[in-house]
Amino acid sequence: MFMATPIIQVENLVKSYGDVHAVRGVSFTVDEGEVFGLLGPNGAGKTSTVEILEGLRDLDGGSVSVCGLDPQRDSQALKHEIGAALQSTSLPDKLRVMEALRLFASFYKRRRNPEELLKRFGLEEKRNTFYSQLSGGQKQRLALAMALLNDPKVLFFDEPTAGLDPQVRREIYDIIEELKREKKTIVMTTHYIEEAERLCDRVAIVDHGKVVALGTPRELKSHSGGTTRIEVRLAKPEPDGALKKLEGVADARELDGAYVIHSHRPPKTIVDLVKHLEAEGNELVSLEIASPSLEDVFIEMTGRRLRD
Amino acid sequence: MRNFATLTRMRIQLTLRNRMFLFFSVIMPFGFFFLYAGVFAKGQPAGVRFFLGPVVALAVMGSFWGLSAALVMFREQGILRRFHVTPVTASDMLASSIVANYVLIFPTVLLQFIFARTIFHVTHFGDIFATFILISIGNIAFASLGLVVASVTNTMQETQVINQLIWLPLIFLSGATFPLAFLPKVVQKVSLFLPATYLVQGLSRTIFGSAHIWEHNVLISLGSLVCWAVLTFFLSAQLFRWEPEVKVPRKAKLLVLATIIPFLLLGFWENTYGNIPAQAQSALDSLSEPTKSAPSPDAPK
């Protein structure tokens, strides 16, 4: 295999809105055929980063290149090469599904058959339905279908499943996995851990406008020591230094009133914990065990949870 | 160019599916038409012809309202954002708004002429070519005004307030509701600063006065509206925003003031040297003389 130049290059990207520093020196590259995820809480700077790559916003510092083009200078040429499902966009209420696909297809030099996309995204019976009468999931499937109209080299999905119920979310996952099998290059943002772990080849964890960790989901998880997370709630507060001394514990910290313990040997740690609490006259209110996930990486890097 | 054509078609399609359109482009213009022709002109052909200019001007000017509202709604709902990731440009978007509006207003105006002919038996419509040109330019000029309003307002509420503020002087001070000659001298002086006055008076001249396109005052109307249309379109392209979060830049308000300058100068010029109010007065006189001699019980048909 030869070393191809990455299809997307981002170097030290900076973007501010007045006093708000949304993106503070983000760097990463995306290879062709890769699904790249930007994982982080709302307001971490993911959307700003993606919108700069799409040529929708100007950058304040650093440099970016997409498909060998400068999104700021060559935005017109770039728009023929990319497809996007943006956050908080909409279509006119009284536009029908098929009309929307035909209209947007007409804007591109290279285009795919709208008919075929309609079929593929399961919108055939909805072809003459007004946009306003579609369900949330149908709207999102239409958004993804529209992103493919120009057979783009790079796809941008900004929070593709935000606000959808779990079943619809899984439908969207299936669609993205299919695109992944077709070796499409996809850049997606998400604040769902499950989504990043399941769909992305590589993930950049973003917080406060910076990349705090970057790698494959597996690499990132092993970075956190391959530990198991034990989350406990206690009747009385406990100095977290004490919990760190329990057997097999790699790290322990207090988070939103609970104690998060990362352990190499969960059974030993739990037994030791119970003994310790008894000796201190404290009591266990609840206990939860979770296998290591990207959430743990996030907690470790930022001291906060990823959830809203 | 192709993007512009498909966008125009979409805009026409969407507008026809919109109930608001029905009000602004059908109910309101024909409401005015029958009010003026049936009540003010008492159904008499000469009177109907006299009021046809103002009535048509109202239909043409009213378009700025729906256009600004539609564009602001598109922006607020994130529809423009979706177009922004495609190769569609701001000028595609703006030009398609204007052309779609033109195509949609034209049948209304045409129907007003047809009704004047068939229902009220108006036989002469003055200089049809000059009238057509004035209507076209007026339509583009006021559509561009709508685009500027959409550019300098952030929310639908703001847009509607500004629209009201523009619309009221537009219809009351231009001679569109009360003939210019009825207005007090001071108000006439003010009205000569308004673009609407030049459209209304120009159309009155060509329809009722049978003025050709090269008559001095028609040329003044035409020239000032062309100049204004170019300025406002250019401005709206400069200030166009795809994203709802991006607010109006401060310099925008200054630029808007710049579009007022031509009419400020024209207003001073016309107030000093012009004869538009005098012409409006003589038009009104020529209308009222025959009706005075033959008093009330004329059968309106």
Kindly report the nearest CA distance between residue A103 and chain B, in angstroms.
7
Average pLDDT over residues A89-112: 93
A104:B87 CB<8 A: no
Quote the pLDDT of residue A225.
65
One-character DSSP codes across chain B: -HHHHHHHHHHHHHHHT-HHHIIIIIIHHHHHHHIIIIIISTT-HHHHHHHHHHHHHHHHHTHHHHHHHHHHHHHHTTHHHHHHTTT--HHHHHHHHHHHHHHHHHHHHHHHHHHHHHTT-----S-HHHHHHHHHHHHHHHHHHHHHHHHH-SSHHHHHHHHHHHHHHHHHSSSSSS-GGGS-HHHHHHHTT-HHHHHHHHHHHHHTS---TTSHHHHHHHHHHHHHHHHHHHHHHHH----SSSPPPTHHHHHHHHHHHHHHHHHHHHHHH--HHHHHHHHHHHHHHHHHHS-S-----
pLDDT in tens, A34-76: 999 999 988 889 999 999 999 999 999 999 999 999 999 999 9
Alpha-carbon torsion, ordered A7, A13, A18, A21, to 10 deg = 120
Which of B1, B86, B91, B241 is most worth mutating to test chain A (most A CB atoms within 10 A of its CB)?
B86
Asked if the Cβ–Cβ distance from A76 to B89 is below 8 Å, we say yes
Contacts A84 to B, Cβ<8 Å: 85
- Predicted pLDDT of residue B210: 84
Cβ-based contacts of B86 with chain A (< 8 Å): 79, 104, 107-108
Task: State yes or no: pLDDT of B70 exceeds 60.
Answer: yes
How close, in Å, is residue A36 to chain B by CA atoms? 20
pLDDT one-digit tens code per residue, B246-280: 778 778 878 888 888 888 888 888 888 888 888 88
Cβ pair A86:B82 closer than 8 A: yes
ipTM rounded to 2 decimals: 0.85
**For residue B78, what is the nearest residue in chain A, using CA coordinates?**
A89
Mutate to test the interface with B, among A88, A98, A111, A129 (most CBs of B within 10 A): A88
Give pLDDT tens digits for B107-146: 999 999 999 999 998 888 888 999 999 999 999 999 999 9
Q: Does B79 contact A91 at a Cβ distance shorter than 8 Å?
A: yes
Say if CB B221 and CB B199 are below 8 A apart.
yes
Taking alpha carbons only, the member of A18, A158, A87, A41 closest to residue B246 is A18
- Return the residue of A nearest to B18 by Cα: A94
CA distance B190 to B187: 5
Best mutation target, A76, A78, A106, to test chain B (most B CBs within 10 A): A106
Residues of A in contact with B82 (CB under 8 A): 86, 89-91, 146
Minimal CA–CA distance to A53: which of A37, A39, A41, A69?
A69
Cross-chain residue pair B86–A99, CB shorter than 8 Å:
no
Q: Specify which of A260-264, A279-283, B160-164 reaches the highest per-range mean pLDDT.
A: B160-164
